[in-house]
Structure formats: C-alpha cells, structure tokens
Amino acid sequence: MGVKNIIQAVKKVHTEYIVLVKEGSFYHIYGKDAYIISYLFGYKIKEIENMNVCGFPINSINRIVAKLETNKINYLILDKRNNYDIEEMYNNKNLNTYNKFYNESKCYINKVARINNINEFLINNINKEYFKEIINSMEEIINETRKI
C-alpha cells in the first residue's frame, strides 16, 4: 500500500489531526495538513503524485510539536519503518483548532499563490512595452492604500 493510500485511510479515522510521517531523516506532511504546516512554519508545498506535500528535517520535530500543542492542533506521528504505526498522538478533544487553522492556511496559501503568479508574470514580461504601464498602475494602487 502506497503512502497516499495510508494517509487517506488514517485521515478517514482521524479527520481533524495533522498526520506527520517519519520517513528517514525527514517528516512529511500530506494533503490539507501540508497547508497548515506551511502556514505555521513557512515550509514550501510541493505537488507530488497529485498530492500536496511539505516536509522538514527530523531535528525540527520538537519545535513543530510545541507549536501544534500551543495552538491546540491535534496531531499523529507515524513511522514508515514500523508499517506506519502511530508513534505519538496528541488530542485536544473539543478544544482542537485543526479546522480553524486549515481554513486560515488555505486562504493564506491561495493568496500567496496568486502573488507568486503575478510576480512570475511581471518577471516574464519585464522587457515588454506595456510593463511600465502595468507597474505604474500597481504602484499607484499601493500608494493609494498607504494614504488611508
């Protein structure tokens, strides 16, 4: 069974938990959970086999876990070496803020993606005739908002 199927099976039972998968010297986070980790820690999200994934080195786990616990976000740690057995589980019961952070992170990640697309467009068109007009319009809008 592939990691994608295992994550889906675990998420059916533990829907409001961040699932951290220990794989070698890294932890990987998949799907919706990757949004939350990216939002809280600034890690980049990659798409691998049609699934969002982010990760961090194993030596960062204490910092990650401490912030999840501080923010009352449930989590599970699975170890790939032990057939994805649950190594650690943190449950806030009815105080769990998983959905709140997921909604915030999804909105944030989508806005960052839009900004990145605009940035990429500007860089790709920097030598076009209309570039100066576009950048002047953007600067004008930005300067107007600063006055408010």
User: Domain limits of the chain?
Assistant: 3-98, 100-147
84 dihedral zone (left: phi>0; alpha: psi -120 to 50; beta): left
The string of pLDDT tens digits covering residues 30-42 is 999 999 999 999 9
- Place 148 in a pLDDT band, splitting at 50, 70 and 90: low
Q: For the domain 3-98, what is the CATH superfamily, name and number?
A: DNA repair protein MutS, domain I (3.40.1170.10)
Average pLDDT rounded to a whole number, residues 19-46? 96
Average pLDDT rounded to a whole number, residues 19-37? 96
Average pLDDT rounded to a whole number, residues 2-12? 89
The bridge status of strand 51-57 relative to strand 26-30 is: antiparallel
Global pTM?
A: 0.85
Check pLDDT > 90 for residue 10.
yes
